[in-house]
Amino acid sequence: MKDFEERNPLNWLFLPESVSKDDNVVATYVLETSPDTDILSKSFAIAVEQSTGTWIEVPAETPELRKHHMAKVIGIYELPFVEDTPPTDFRHFLIKIAFPLVNFGAQFPMLLTTVVGNISSAGKIKLVDLEFPLDFLKSMPGPKFGIQGIRDLLGVYDRPLLNNMIKPCTGFPPEVGAKLFYEVASGGVDIVKDDELLANPPFNPIEKRVKSYMEMAKRVYEETGNKVLYTVNITDEPDKLIENAYKAIEAGANALMINFLTAGFSSLKALAENKDINVPILGHPDFGGAISSSPWHGIGSPLLLGKFPRIAGADLIILLSPYGKFPVLRDRYLQTARAMTSPLETIKQTFPMPAGGMYPGIVEATLKDLGTDCIISAGGAIHGHPMGPRAGAKALRQAIEAYMNGIPIEEAGKEHPELNSALKAWGYWKGGERKLFDLL
C-alpha cells in the first residue's frame, strides 16, 4: 500500500506554491502526446527520470532522498483546456517542473543535462522557459557592461547604435578588412564586428587583424571624434579561447565576439568571469536553429538565444530580424529581445542587435518594435550599398535619425542622397502600420 502511495503520480503533482522559488529551477515545457497517454504519469516520469529515479523503483531511492532531490511537477495545462472530451488526434500540454538546484548547481552543462538531457529523446517535448532562483543568478556573471556600459564606452546615449559586420564574411587578409573598417567607421557605425565565419584562420590571424582594424578605429577617432568598438571573433576550443582573448586584448582589441552555441555557454561564461578580460563580449547565435527551430523539440529561442547568453555574460547579442532574410516569427523575436532587456535580479541588460538582412527601409519597423535601446546591425546593406560602404553606413544613420526625429523615411530620403539610394535599391516597409496596441 505504502509503496503504491509513494509511486502514485498524483502524490508528485504539486501546487506551484508548494515549492520554494529559492531552491528550485522551474522549467516550462510544451508537449504533444497521443490521446492514450496519461499526462500525469508522463509528467511524473519526466520529473523522476531527470532527477533521482528510473523506470523501476530501486532500493536506495529512499523517501528521504526523493524528498530533497526528486523534481516536482507543479503545473499541467492542456490547450485547449478541455474538461470532458479530449481531442482524439493528439493532445497539447504545457507542463512545469521544479528541479532542486542542489542537484546541479549554477553551471550550464549539468543544468542542460537536467532540464533537457535524456528527455530530449522522449517524443515531442520542447523546453520553452526556465525560471532561476536568485542564488543561481547571483552565481552567473551576466554582462560586465550591458546596455549602459556599452553606451558609456561609446559616449552615445540618445539614439540606437549602428553595427556593421564586415562582408565578405571570410577569405580576405587583414588589410582588405581594415580598408572596409575605415570606410564604415567613417560613415558613422559605432561597432564593427567580424562575421561568425571568420575567427583565427592563417590568412587572417586575430592579432594582425586586431592591430590593423584598431589602427583604423584610432584614425577615425582622430578625424571625427567618433569612438568605434571592434568585436573580434575569438571563437575556438575552450583552452584556445582564453588564449585568443588575451592575444586580442594585447593587440589592442576593445571588444570580443564568440559564437556562443558552437563554443558553448560555458565558454562564454568563462570569458565573462575572467577578471583579466575587461572588454564587452558580443554573442553570436549561429547554430540556434538546430536547437530551437522545431515546434516540439529542443529549446525555445527566447531562452536559448536571449536569457541563456545574457546570464552567461554576453553584453551584446545578435538577434535575427523578422523583417530581413531569415524566416523568423516576430513574436519569438520580440520575446528574445525582451529576455535580454527585462529586469532580471542582479543581471545587467544585454543589448539586442537586430540583424540578418537589415537595411534602411526596415529601421523604422525595427525601432517601433524594440525601442531605441538596440543596435541596428547590417552587413550587406552597408558593403553592398550602390554608393559604397561609407554611404551604406551613412544611409543607416540617416534612417535612424529620421526615426528619432519623427520624420517618415520617404521624406528623409529626399534630404539624403545615401538614404535615397538605399530606398531606391531595396525599398522600404511601413512596419509602423502594424498596430502595437491591439485592443481587446
- The residues annotated as belonging to the active site are 167, 284
Cβ atoms within 10 Å, residue 308:
26
Q: CA-to-CA distance for 262 and 264, rounded, in angstroms?
A: 6
Task: Name the one residue in this structure whose C-alpha cell is 593587440.
Answer: 251
* Per-residue contact string for residues 108-127; x = within reach of its own copies by CB under 8 A: ----------xx--xx--x-
Say whether residue 331 binds its own copies (CB under 8 A).
Answer: yes
* Residues between 275 and 314 that touch its own copies (CB under 8 A): 289, 292-296, 300-301, 307
Q: List the one residue from 24, 52, 103, 335 that touches its own copies (CB under 8 A).
A: 335
* Per-residue contact string for residues 132-161; x = within reach of its own copies by CB under 8 A: x-x--x------------------------
Say whether residue 1 binds its own copies (CB under 8 A).
Answer: yes
Q: List the one residue from 23, 66, 69, 94 that touches its own copies (CB under 8 A).
A: 94
Q: List the one residue from 63, 89, 202, 439 that touches its own copies (CB under 8 A).
A: 439
Q: How many residues bind its own copies (CB under 8 A)?
A: 93
Say whether residue 237 binds its own copies (CB under 8 A).
Answer: no
* Residues between 164 and 183 that touch its own copies (CB under 8 A): none
Q: List the one residue from 138, 372, 386, 415 that touches its own copies (CB under 8 A).
A: 372
3 vs 276 by CB, closer to its own copies: 3
Say whether residue 69 binds its own copies (CB under 8 A).
Answer: no
Q: List the one residue from 63, 64, 85, 275 that touches its own copies (CB under 8 A).
A: 85
Say whether residue 100 binds its own copies (CB under 8 A).
Answer: no
Q: CA-to-CA distance for 73 and 80, rounded, in angstroms?
A: 20
* Residues between 384 and 403 that touch its own copies (CB under 8 A): none
163 vs 292 by CB, closer to its own copies: 292
The whole-angstrom distance between residue 87's C-alpha and the CA centroid of its chain comes to 35
Yes or no: say if 338 and 374 are a contact pair by the CB < 8 Å rule.
no
